[in-house]
A and B are shown apart, each in its own frame.
Chain A
Amino acid sequence: MSKTYYDAADLRKFGKITEWNEELGNKFFDYYGKVFEEGALTAREKSLIALAVAHTEQCPYCIDAYTKDGLQRGITKEEMMEAVHVGAAIKSGATLVHGVQMMNKVNKLEM
């Protein structure tokens, strides 16, 4: 067993999850591939969304994968960092908007 929870080389083995459940694994990868195809959104826009979500999910594999994917598509580091800030803004916004719940509760409980 590996001594750490994450190993960068494991990303290459992602496809192997189908070995223990071929049907569901294949369905997932078909779906995954379809999602990232050119559609109403460009593949480039989807790549940037994926990069932002990779950060909010804090998935190191996804961050590696979509940083490289972005470079391959000619996405600049400025664009990548802006995408990460979009993710971060939603994350912090999601925390802060709960502040309203706190305020409501305080207002209800206080005389």
Chain B
Amino acid sequence: MATKSLKARNNDIANTSRQMEILSNGIFADGELPTFAAKIKETNQFPLRPKKLEILQINLGYMCNQVCEHCHVDAGPDRKEIMTVETMQQCLKVIKNTGAHTLDLTGGAPEMNPNFRWFVEEASKAGIKDFIVRSNLTIIRANKKYYDLPEFFKKHNVHVISSMPHWTRGKTDKQRGNGVFDKSIKALQELNAVGYGMPNSDLKLDLVYNPSGAFLPGDQMALENDFKKALKADFNIDFHNLFAITNLPISRFLDYLIASENYEDYMYSLVEAYNPLAVENVMCTNTLSISWDGWLYDCDFNQMLNLKVNSKVKHVSDYNEELLQNRNIIINQHCYGCTAGAGSSCQGVVA
């Protein structure tokens, strides 16, 4: 189990241009597999263009209390990049004027940003319809100062979305680190105790499943049923929906694919499972991603590859929704991860 980010280990893959090189060369350069651009041209879906903006996803920083094997953010305790109050203020200005109905806070562990609560309070005043915090669960048990997070989330009617790779301890800890399963279970029970995830409760608690290895997620509904049955029987835990998310071949997951000699097979699986219907609703068409330092991206994955939006406006300080909406979305081979099978997004399947 890694305890440091790729960046702290000076790993070659931490360099985003190296990742782009890997994704553009080899089986895609010699024509063994079609590039993503060639694939979406087959169904006249190139260039990919935004539809109505629905979700603003803000990354509050790459700092995290966990170092997950598959993390596309390469997050960890050694990452010091977190959003400043100044950038938060620029984001708040955007939140007050945006046409988007959902605000999605992510990280790292967004709760570790010292101004997280202030930002949630201010954003909450802006009256956004669906207010999401992507919580890794263990943060709630990481330190006393986080113990009251369930109450805090409840107070601001935050929709909590949490990662949970499996309903068994072994598979969970292998992906996310020793002890993560037990802490996550405890955190889920505490969220349930304040009303989160209970049947008919307005306090929404959804789980995110992503495969712990070089394979694609199975059917979202079937997995949800298995998770619900097992978590209820073993720990009396309730939650609302399960989102099955495909791991994209970037950052730590790409490093793993290459080191384990699964890269080519995985890319074949993604291309074979390509679904043009998923392209229709892929999340970059209704989402904008803002990084800790205020840059704008088509999605969180492009953010991690340092592919800023293809628009005159590239930073939140110059935000102009109309100009931004009139752009072509930047694509590359990693995009196959969002179009495989029933598709994949931060809200689960899309087709």
B171 at the interface (CB under 8 A from A): yes
> Interface size (A, Cβ < 8 Å)?
10
B108 at the interface (CB under 8 A from A): no
B259 at the interface (CB under 8 A from A): no
Inside 8 A of B272's CB, which chain A residues have their CB? 12
Total A-B residue contacts, Cβ distance less than 8 Å: 30
Minimum distance in angstroms from B276 CB to a CB of chain A: 18
Once A12-B268, A12-B272 are accepted as A-B contacts, the answer to whether A74 and B215 lie under 8 Å apart by CB is no
Inside 8 A of B343's CB, which chain A residues have their CB? none
Once A44-B222, A74-B223 are accepted as A-B contacts, the answer to whether A68 and B168 lie under 8 Å apart by CB is no
A16 at the interface (CB under 8 A from B): no
A107 at the interface (CB under 8 A from B): no
| Closest chain B residue, CB of each to CB of A12 | B268
Minimum distance in angstroms from B140 CB to a CB of chain A: 24
B318 at the interface (CB under 8 A from A): no
A73 at the interface (CB under 8 A from B): yes
Distance A68 CA – B272 CA, assembled complex (angstroms): 15
Distance A72 CA – B216 CA, assembled complex (angstroms): 6
| Closest chain B residue, CB of each to CB of A8 | B265
A71 at the interface (CB under 8 A from B): yes
Residues of B whose CB lies within 8 Å of any CB of A are 166-168, 170-171, 209, 211, 213, 215-219, 222-223, 226-227, 268, 272
Q: 16 A-B pairs, CB-CB below 8 angstroms? A: A12-B268, A12-B272, A43-B219, A44-B222, A44-B226, A68-B215, A71-B211, A72-B216, A72-B217, A73-B218, A73-B219, A73-B222, A74-B209, A74-B218, A76-B170, A76-B171
Residues of A whose CB lies within 8 Å of any CB of B are 12, 42-44, 68, 71-74, 76
